């Protein structure tokens, strides 16, 4: 049985929304909401926030969370995750975005269970999206995978190409990942790949280097926080769920 930890990378210096992890949602910092949802899942051997900012570090400490200060030299959230887990005695890790305060327990369970399988190297998720506008948007990542659930490609472009009359929906990638430690270590020691640089999608580094990614089809529709307006959307959902 694999020992699986959960790591939540959290940066303060977001270009579009500085200080995002500390923004309050109905009075509670977003990073606390994410941490508590992941922790309440109950199957991870450890849940840790990885940050390079003292303000985030102190906030996590204040609510009793587990947090590690990482280097400001980390190139990505994935590098930040590796900096934490390379010191732990675990077999695998799930990388959970720090801006997903409504992260689904069902999705965490699906990722956890798939990652627990012996032949799974890397796993991520996607949901079916019927919006042609989203399909055309470069801000929406499309996931293409085979009949047996192995990723073929990820792109910001509308792939496979089709005109609106032929459009039948697409799989919208969700930024959650599970990795075996061996493959995560390989990833951080590889150079950025050609497609990764062009698409600005680091998961392509795995595919270009022959590391399979399993893609789970999920019902969870990701609702992350990218702007202050997204905070209001999340609060309205939470208010509705408490009525």
- Same domain, residue pair 161 and 199: yes
pLDDT at position 239 over 60: yes
- Same domain, residue pair 123 and 216: yes
149 lies in which domain range?
103-109+117-222
- Nearest CA to 10 among 28, 37, 29? 29
The answer to the question of residue 54 being in a domain is yes
- Same domain, residue pair 87 and 151: no
Q: For the domain that residue 199 is a member of, what is the CATH number?
A: 3.90.550.10
Last residue of a domain, one of 39, 69, 101: 101
- Same domain, residue pair 78 and 131: no
pLDDT at position 243 over 90: no
- Same domain, residue pair 66 and 134: no
The answer to the question of residue 70 being in a domain is yes
The answer to the question of residue 179 being in a domain is yes
What is the pairing mode between strands 92-95 and 170-180? antiparallel
| Structural domain count, the chain | 2
CA 86, 61, 75, 108 torsion: positive or negative? positive
Q: What is the mean pLDDT of the chain?
A: 93
Q: Evaluate whether 27 touches 96 at the Cβ level (below 8 Å).
A: no
Q: Work out the average pLDDT over 155-178.
A: 95
Which structure tokens are listed for 62? 């204040």
Q: What is the pLDDT of residues 12-40, one digit of tens each?
A: 887 778 899 999 999 999 999 999 999 99
What's residue 242's pLDDT? Answer: 57
The answer to the question of residue 238 being in a domain is no
- Same domain, residue pair 97 and 180: no
Last residue of a domain, one of 76, 101, 126: 101
Nearest-angstrom CA–CA distance, 188 and 83 = 10
Q: What is the pLDDT of residues 129-156, one digit of tens each?
A: 999 999 999 989 999 999 999 999 999 9
CA-atom Rg of the chain in angstroms: 18
What's residue 76's pLDDT? Answer: 80
- Same domain, residue pair 97 and 125: no
Which structure tokens are listed for 127? 């949901």
Percent of the chain with pLDDT over 70: 99
The answer to the question of residue 241 being in a domain is no
Identify the band that residue 222 occupies on the pLDDT scale cut at 50, 70 and 90: confident
What's residue 59's pLDDT? Answer: 97
What's residue 15's pLDDT? Answer: 72
Half-sphere exposure of 147 (CA within 13 A, CB side): 0
Nearest-angstrom CA–CA distance, 205 and 208 = 5
What's residue 77's pLDDT? Answer: 80
The answer to the question of residue 240 being in a domain is no
The answer to the question of residue 237 being in a domain is no
Nearest-angstrom CA–CA distance, 241 and 103 = 14
Q: What is the pLDDT of residues 188-204, one digit of tens each?
A: 999 999 999 999 999 99
- Same domain, residue pair 124 and 51: no
Contacts of 205 (CB under 8 A, 6+ apart): 187, 190, 192, 193, 196
Question: What are the start-end ranges of the E strands in the chain?
Answer: 4-10, 24-25, 28-29, 47-51, 67-69, 92-95, 122-129, 142-145, 151-155, 170-180, 213-217
The answer to the question of residue 236 being in a domain is no
- Sole residue written with tokens 């061996």: 182
What's residue 226's pLDDT? Answer: 84
- Same domain, residue pair 124 and 96: no
pLDDT at position 61 over 70: yes
- Same domain, residue pair 197 and 162: yes
What is the pairing mode between strands 142-145 and 151-155? antiparallel
- Same domain, residue pair 83 and 121: no
Q: Work out the average pLDDT over 77-97.
A: 91
**Start-to-end C-alpha separation, the chain:** 40
What's residue 16's pLDDT? Answer: 74
């Amino acid at each position: 049985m694999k020992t699986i930890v959960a790591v939540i990378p959290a940066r303060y210096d977001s270009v579009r929304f500085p200080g995002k992890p500390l923004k309050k949602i109905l009075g509670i910092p977003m990073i606390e909401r994410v941490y508590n949802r992941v922790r309440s899942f109950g199957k991870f051997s450890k849940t840790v926030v990885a940050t390079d900012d003292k303000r985030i570090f102190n906030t996590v400490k204040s609510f009793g969370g587990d947090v590690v200060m990482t280097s400001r030299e980390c190139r990505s959230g994935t590098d930040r995750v590796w900096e934490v887990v390379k010191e732990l005695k675990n077999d695998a890790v799930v990388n959970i975005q720090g801006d997903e305060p409504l992260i689904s327990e069902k999705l965490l369970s699906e990722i956890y269970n798939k990652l627990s399988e012996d032949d799974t190297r890397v796993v991520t998720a996607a949901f079916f999206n019927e919006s042609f506008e989203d399909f055309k948007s470069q801000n929406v990542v499309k996931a293409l995978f085979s009949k047996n659930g192995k990723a073929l490609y990820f792109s910001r472009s509308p792939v496979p190409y089709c005109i609106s009359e032929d459009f039948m929906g697409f799989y919208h990638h969700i930024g959650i990942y599970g990795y075996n430690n061996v493959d995560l270590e390989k990833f951080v020691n590889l150079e950025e790949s050609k497609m990764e640089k062009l698409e600005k999608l680091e998961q392509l580094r795995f595919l270009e280097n022959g590391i399979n990614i399993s893609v789970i089809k999920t019902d969870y529709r990701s609702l992350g926080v990218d702007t202050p307006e997204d905070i209001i959307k999340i609060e309205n959902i939470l208010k509705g769920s408490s009525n």
